[in-house]
Amino acid sequence: MTRFIFITGGVVSSLGKGLSSASLGALLQARGYRVRLRKLDPYLNVDPGTMSPYQHGEVYVTDDGAETDLDLGHYERYTGVPARRSDNVTTGRIYSNVIAKERRGDYLGGTVQVIPHVTDAIKEFIVSDLDDEDFVLCEIGGTVGDIEGLPFLEAIRQLSNDLGRERTLFVHLTLVPYIPSAGELKTKPTQHSTKELLTIGIQADILLCRCDREIPLDARRKIALFCNVREDRVIQALDVDTIYQVPIAYHQQGFDTEVLRHFGLLAEGAEDDIDLSRWEEIVKRIRAPEGEVTIAVVGKYTNLLDAYKSLSEALVHGGIANNVRVKLNWIESELFEREEPSYHLEGCDGILVPGGFGQRGSEGKIMAARYAREQNVPFFGICFGMQMAVIEAARNLAGIAGAGSSEFGPSDAPVVGLLTEWSRGNTLERRHASGDLGGTMRLGAYPCNLTPGSQVAKIYQNRLEIGERHRHRYEVNIAFKDRLEAHGLKFSGMSPDGVLPEIVEIPDHVWYMGVQFHPELKSKPFEPHPLFESFIKAAVDQSRLV
Ligand code: GLN
């Protein structure tokens, strides 16, 4: 029997609802249950694919090619359950489906309304495409009180009625702020947002209270009393030094036990019947590393770290694998158009150019790749980063002066070009240069064949076929392969049909790798991605040289 846990947020955004959901998922999993995590986003975009990283942070891509919310990245990293297209929906998607149905005449002349048609579509989404999991955790984006969120809250209220309280649970995440002038913690915002939920007909079962210090018992009692929640179910969620401590901290506060108790699943004396040793091991390694390396990340959205969420996590994982702390030095690539790259890059043990879009800052990224190549510093180019590295090699190694990307307009030598046709298994996918921007990139998992004996094949432990996730419109142009290879840039990973370059490397270099896919999306704390593990190892070796 599948049970549904709904996680809402109140008071303010950015309280870490995604991490809280992921952590509860991990705890239930550690108790032996099968879990699935989903995110319902109230905004009107059909998906986050066309949203600016400044607005939305990273777009997390699933194996099945959906562009989704970055919280799905947390879910996957914490539980290891691969996220799917059916794990994220937005108001925009729900409405476009409802309207398409209306146009087809599927409502048989009825008046189409938010209740029941939109709420039915939301409920259908929540219960569809499941594999008989024990728990489905559904996080509702935004905060209670937002106009956009109402249909979602109404839908989960109805679902709880349809399925029964014994199969559903409402968790509400709030803030208990400390007011310095009063010298006290304030429970009023929590009372208000719980009440706000109640006006929609939802009584919170568990309150998760974010706070920067211990919440005294009398304050917790007050919250319990005013919010109509049992005292044990007012759980403190205190700040922690690493996000991987959250599941441990939640367990210590009794979060998972209270969830199981609600569902009548907690056997007598089984409160601590859970093995969190793998989480403890990760936290131990993060807290007491044996060394430190500095990686320069040369990108465009460096003042907005949410834009590179999976990337910074994957680098942490690479550090965990090598027992070092990875210090990230975020550098705005445009800076290199004014200042010498060496001035900023000299002290770094490795240089990474991440994914990106558009011409602005691209020359700076090309300069970073050049510096790394010439100075023999470990270099990792991801997606756009690989494309810029190939342009750099074309210009400065192979002497193709006009090398560029057609993403920036017509080029004399489009070393990176627009892809309008490619094969996926036995089907041919087609795009038009003037088509829609949304959902039209090469998206999701694709297989890639590795060249035997190449550096990358060794990194993947001599596997010759790998699968990684993509999100890009342009591709390195195969027409330049021979010239680039003759000058030392080897194409060591190709699509199975041999048409799309997936990986380039420089065998004579200490560690120089460009990948067209996004390996960071599949890295997990317990299973660091081999490319990140190897890159950080190269950085560790580099740091010993200096
Ligand atoms: N802008 C490039 C493209 O569309 C790279 C995209 C990316 O780095 N994700 O091909």
**Secondary structure (H, E, C), 256-321:** HHHHHHHCCCCCCCCCCCCCCHHHHHHHHHHHCCCEEEEEEEEECCCCCHHHHHHHHHHHHHHHHH
pLDDT for res 436: 66
pLDDT for res 424: 64
Please tell me the distance from the alpha carbon of residue 295 to that of residue 276, in angstroms, as a whole number: 30
Whether 383 is catalytic is: yes
From the candidates 383, 407, 475, 533, give the one annotated as an active-site residue. 383
Please tell me the distance from the alpha carbon of residue 40 to that of residue 520, in angstroms, as a whole number: 24
- Cβ(28)–Cβ(75) below 8 Å: no
Strand partners, 421: 430
CA of 225 to the centre of ligand 1 (A): 53
pLDDT for res 305: 76
How many other CB atoms are there within 10 angstroms of residue 149's CB atom?
Answer: 22
Tokens standing for residue 287: 């807290």
Q: Which helix (H) or strand (E) holds 252?
A: helix 246-252
Instruction: Tell me the pTM.
Output: 0.93
Best probe residue, ligand 1, of 51, 387, 431 (max atoms within 8 Å of C-beta): 387
Residue burial 270-282, b: 16+ Cβ < 10 Å; e: rest = eeeebebeebeeb
Among 355, 350, 347, 345, which residue's Cα sits nearest to residue 295? Answer: 350
Q: Sorting pLDDT into bands at 50, 70 and 90, what band is 431? A: low
pLDDT for res 410: 86
Q: Sorting pLDDT into bands at 50, 70 and 90, what band is 437? A: low
From the candidates 258, 502, 520, 533, give the one annotated as an active-site residue. 520
What is the number of the ligand 1 atom nearest to the C-alpha of 354?
8
Q: Does ligand 1 lie within 6 Å of residue 384's CB atom?
A: yes
Rounded percentage of the chain residues whose pLDDT exceeds 70: 96
CA of 378 to the centre of ligand 1 (A): 22
Residue-wise pLDDT tens digits, 344-364:
999 999 999 999 999 999 999
What letter does residue 527 receive in the DSSP assignment?
B
Q: Does ligand 1 lie within 6 Å of residue 475's CB atom?
A: no
pLDDT for res 151: 96
pLDDT for res 268: 87
How many other CB atoms are there within 10 angstroms of residue 52's CB atom?
Answer: 12
Among 223, 215, 218, 290, which residue's Cα sits nearest to residue 253? Answer: 215
Q: What is the CA radius of gyration of the chain?
A: 25
Q: Does ligand 1 lie within 6 Å of residue 10's CB atom?
A: no
Q: Sorting pLDDT into bands at 50, 70 and 90, what band is 53? A: confident
Residue closest by Cα to atom 5 of ligand 1:
384
Q: Does ligand 1 lie within 6 Å of residue 220's CB atom?
A: no
Please tell me the distance from the alpha carbon of residue 336 to that of residue 342, in angstroms, as a whole number: 9
Angle at 235 between CA 230 and CA 241, to 5 degrees: 175
Among 11, 139, 146, which residue's Cα sits nearest to residue 75? Answer: 139
Residue burial 295-322, b: 16+ Cβ < 10 Å; e: rest = bbbbbbbbebeebbbbbbbbbbbbbbbb
Please tell me the distance from the alpha carbon of residue 511 to that of residue 245, in angstroms, as a whole number: 32
Q: Residue 546: is its pLDDT beyond 70?
A: no
Q: Does ligand 1 lie within 6 Å of residue 474's CB atom?
A: yes
Best probe residue, ligand 1, of 52, 384, 407 (max atoms within 8 Å of C-beta): 384
Residue-wise pLDDT tens digits, 116-170:
999 999 999 999 999 999 999 999 999 998 999 999 999 999 999 999 999 999 9
Please tell me the distance from the alpha carbon of residue 495 to that of residue 506, in angstroms, as a whole number: 19
Please tell me the distance from the alpha carbon of residue 241 to that of residue 360, in angstroms, as a whole number: 35
Say which amino acid occupies 508.
D
Q: Which helix (H) or strand (E) holds 159?
A: helix 150-163
CA of 442 to the centre of ligand 1 (A): 10
Whether 227 is catalytic is: no
In this prediction, residues 466-484 reach a mean pLDDT of 94
Whether 102 is catalytic is: no
Please tell me the distance from the alpha carbon of residue 168 to that of residue 161, in angstroms, as a whole number: 9
Residue-wise pLDDT tens digits, 285-343:
999 999 999 999 999 876 677 889 999 999 999 999 999 999 999 999 999 989 999 99
Q: Residue 428: is its pLDDT beyond 70?
A: no
Q: Residue 177: is its pLDDT beyond 70?
A: yes
Q: Does ligand 1 lie within 6 Å of residue 61's CB atom?
A: no
What is the number of the ligand 1 atom nearest to the C-alpha of 385?
8
Residue closest by Cα to atom 1 of ligand 1:
357
Residue closest by Cα to atom 3 of ligand 1:
472
Q: Which helix (H) or strand (E) holds 209?
A: strand 206-211
CA of 363 to the centre of ligand 1 (A): 15
Q: Which helix (H) or strand (E) holds 103?
A: helix 91-104
Beta strands across the sheet bearing 403-405: 403-405, 413-418, 474-476
Residue 208 in 3-state DSSP?
A: strand
Q: Residue 397: is its pLDDT beyond 70?
A: yes
CA of 457 to the centre of ligand 1 (A): 24
DSSP strand pairing (178-179 vs 184-185): antiparallel
pLDDT top residue among 11 and 259 = 259
pLDDT for res 421: 61
Arithmetic mean of pLDDT over the chain? 93
Q: Residue 425: is its pLDDT beyond 80?
A: no
Q: Residue 48: is its pLDDT beyond 90?
A: no
From the candidates 209, 518, 529, 533, give the one annotated as an active-site residue. 518
What letter does residue 117 receive in the DSSP assignment?
I
Q: Sorting pLDDT into bands at 50, 70 and 90, what band is 11? A: confident
Residue-wise pLDDT tens digits, 359-378:
999 999 999 999 999 999 99
Distances (CA, A) of 525 to 168, 319, 415: 30, 10, 36
- Cβ(70)–Cβ(21) below 8 Å: no
